[in-house]
């Protein structure tokens, strides 16, 4: 196949084993995306679709951003790669300074990884390294939460809590990981924003401390708003309580902001939106507008200092890093993204758009197959009623919406809608109208 045709229709679908995909179903009736510009995608039937989930929550500034393309091209022409161990290049330091201007509290130290999963695994390792540096080697346990998604390497899978992601791999997961309950309660029906009830679920952490010894726990990791499982918004007071319990037992609190970070929740980070400062934060996705991979861990100055102080001058202080940690091409994209955030006042734009989006998405409440809707910032989860077996309604509706011209991510029976930050109100209307059509067509097909 010639290089121009590479994103179009391939000769064979057989060899590519697709990630998180029903390969057999896909190969019987493929969905190929051929072009992307602004808020729109085009598929291999030449049909235009609106992007309803910013790719995988990673392209909030729109597709085909000229500024990012130019920055990446220029970087590739000047310095395409510099190996990142025991040497560096200017861009990664500049980016770290710019990221740290946005991070809450004194989370000013920036470690680069490849993606969200490697950011989570790095945070796990930094937690252990920090405690050891302070002479506290007995903390080996990690606490995650049911229905959490933190990525797919062993560390991130272990602290995650989505059953289909863990059950096949139970034999190779990290030992010593415990899970709190998720925060979704049956009474949380059609709630936009933080539910009033459920803060006490944070006491699960206290209970784990009582049962396993808080002094053995290195860190507790949560997504401030659980994204991939279907937008579970923390009850009012819940994150504050987690912070209190962590402080009481010397446990590090990690916020996984891979989806929430860089504006999705309204503030730059969910930490600021909910007024709770963690000890570490992970980011990825929107950091580069999704066009090249990059993960980031931000940690407190004090944690960095402790690890530095534990080693003599000339020694490598943290035996951890990746071939692609903060490489020039990712940094160039991320710096261009930072420029766009500033130039287009993106975070204020999101804040202005949030009430309109939340009101619009909850208008789908009247549809008979819809069981529940939740939302925070520019993200919402629409639960479909069960159809014979878990996941069927979600997948069928996803395909029906795809045909109706709206593209998004569905997990199980939940449709996750997360518009791009550059959306105008008319685009929100288009997303919601097309989701409505897709759900109605799904309903009709069930009856036939
Ligand atoms: C909260 C969260 N953490 C981590 C990850 C893993 O990111 P990646 O797929 O880039 O490894 C994801 C991916 O969706 C995520 O939503």
Cβ(430) – ligand 1 distance below 6 Å: no
Are residues 74 and 11 part of one domain?
no
Are residues 123 and 251 part of one domain?
yes
pLDDT for the residue numbered 120: 98
Please give the average per-residue pLDDT across 225-230, as a whole number: 97
Are residues 356 and 339 part of one domain?
no
Are residues 104 and 55 part of one domain?
no
Q: How far is the CA of 313 from the centre of ligand 1 (A)?
A: 35
Percentage of the residues of the chain whose pLDDT score is greater than 90: 97
Give residues with Cβ within 8 angstroms of 146, minimum separation 6.
Answer: 161, 179, 180, 181, 182
Are residues 74 and 212 part of one domain?
yes
The domain boundary, picked from 322, 343, 364, lies at 343
Contact criterion met (CB below 8 Å) for 352 and 95: no
Q: How far is the CA of 310 from the centre of ligand 1 (A)?
A: 31
Q: How far is the CA of 144 from the centre of ligand 1 (A)?
A: 14
Nearest ligand 1 atom to alpha carbon 285 = 10
Q: How many domains does the chain have?
A: 2
* CATH label of the domain that carries residue 306: 3.40.640.10
- For residue range 85-144, list pLDDT tens digits in order: 999 999 999 999 999 999 999 999 999 999 999 999 999 999 999 999 999 999 999 999
pLDDT for the residue numbered 2: 47
Q: Which of 117, 182, 231 to mutate to test the pocket of ligand 1 (most atoms within 8 A of CB)?
A: 117
Are residues 309 and 160 part of one domain?
yes
The answer to whether residue 5 scores a pLDDT higher than 70 is: no
Percentage of the residues of the chain whose pLDDT score is greater than 70: 98
The answer to whether residue 6 scores a pLDDT higher than 60 is: no
Mean per-residue pLDDT of the chain: 97
Q: How far is the CA of 309 from the centre of ligand 1 (A)?
A: 32
Domain with 40, as residue range(s), is: 3-61+347-447
- The answer to whether the pTM exceeds 0.75 is yes
Confidence of residue 325 (pLDDT cuts 50, 70, 90): very high
Distance CA 53, CA 434 (A): 13
Cβ(227) – ligand 1 distance below 6 Å: yes
Q: Which of 53, 234, 285 to mutate to test the pocket of ligand 1 (most atoms within 8 A of CB)?
A: 285
Are residues 174 and 275 part of one domain?
yes
Nearest CA to ligand 1 atom 8: 116
The answer to whether residue 245 scores a pLDDT higher than 50 is: yes
Nearest ligand 1 atom to alpha carbon 228 = 16
Are residues 414 and 428 part of one domain?
yes
């Amino acid at each position: 196949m010639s290089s121009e045709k590479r994103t179009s229709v391939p000769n064979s679908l057989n060899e590519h084993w697709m990630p998180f995909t029903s390969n057999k179903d896909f190969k019987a009736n493929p969905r190929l995306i051929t072009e992307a510009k602004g808020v729109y995608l085009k598929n291999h039937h030449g049909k235009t679709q609106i992007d309803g989930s910013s790719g995988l929550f990673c392209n909030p500034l729109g597709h085909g951003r000229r500024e990012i393309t130019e920055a990446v091209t220029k970087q590739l022409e000047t310095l395409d790669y510099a190996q990142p161990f025991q040497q560096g290049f200017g861009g990664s330091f500049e980016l770290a300074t710019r990221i740290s201007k946005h991070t809450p509290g004194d989370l000013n130290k920036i470690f680069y990884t490849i993606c969200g999963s490697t950011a989570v695994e790095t945070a796990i390792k930094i937690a252990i390294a920090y405690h050891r540096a302070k002479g506290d080697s007995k903390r080996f346990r990690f606490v995650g939460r049911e229905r959490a998604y933190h990525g797919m390497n062993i560390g991130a899978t272990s602290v995650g809590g989505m059953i289909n992601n863990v059950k096949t791999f139970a034999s190779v997961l990290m030992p010593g990981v415990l899970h709190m309950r998720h925060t979704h309660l049956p009474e949380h029906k059609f709630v936009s924003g933080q539910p009033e009830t459920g803060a006490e679920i944070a006491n699960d952490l206290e209970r784990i401390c009582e049962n396993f010894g808080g002094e053995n726990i290195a860190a507790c990791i949560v997504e401030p708003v659980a994204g991939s499982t279907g937008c579970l918004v923390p009850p009012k007071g819940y994150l504050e309580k987690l912070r209190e319990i962590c402080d009481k037992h010397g446990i590090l609190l990690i916020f996984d902001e891979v989806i929430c970070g860089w504006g999705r929740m309204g503030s730059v980070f969910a930490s600021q939106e909910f007024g709770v400062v963690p000890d570490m934060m992970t980011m990825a996705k929107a950091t580069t507008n999704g066009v090249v991979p990059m993960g980031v861990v931000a940690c407190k100055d004090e944690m960095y200092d402790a690890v530095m102080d534990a080693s003599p001058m000339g020694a490598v202080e943290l035996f951890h890093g990746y071939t692609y940690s903060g490489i020039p091409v990712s940094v160039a994209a991320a710096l261009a993204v930072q420029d766009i955030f500033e130039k287009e006042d993106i975070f204020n734009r999101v804040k202005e758009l949030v009430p309109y989006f939340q009101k619009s998405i909850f208008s789908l409440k009247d549809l008979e197959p819809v069981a529940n809707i939740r939302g925070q910032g520019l993200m919402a989860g629409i639960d479909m009623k069960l159809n014979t077996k878990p996941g069927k309604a979600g997948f069928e509706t996803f395909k029906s919406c795809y045909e109706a011209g709206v593209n998004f991510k569905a997990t199980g029976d939940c449709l996750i809608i997360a518009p791009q930050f550059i959306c105008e109100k008319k685009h929100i209307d288009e997303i919601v109208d097309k989701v409505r059509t897709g759900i109605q067509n799904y309903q009709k097909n069930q009856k036939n």
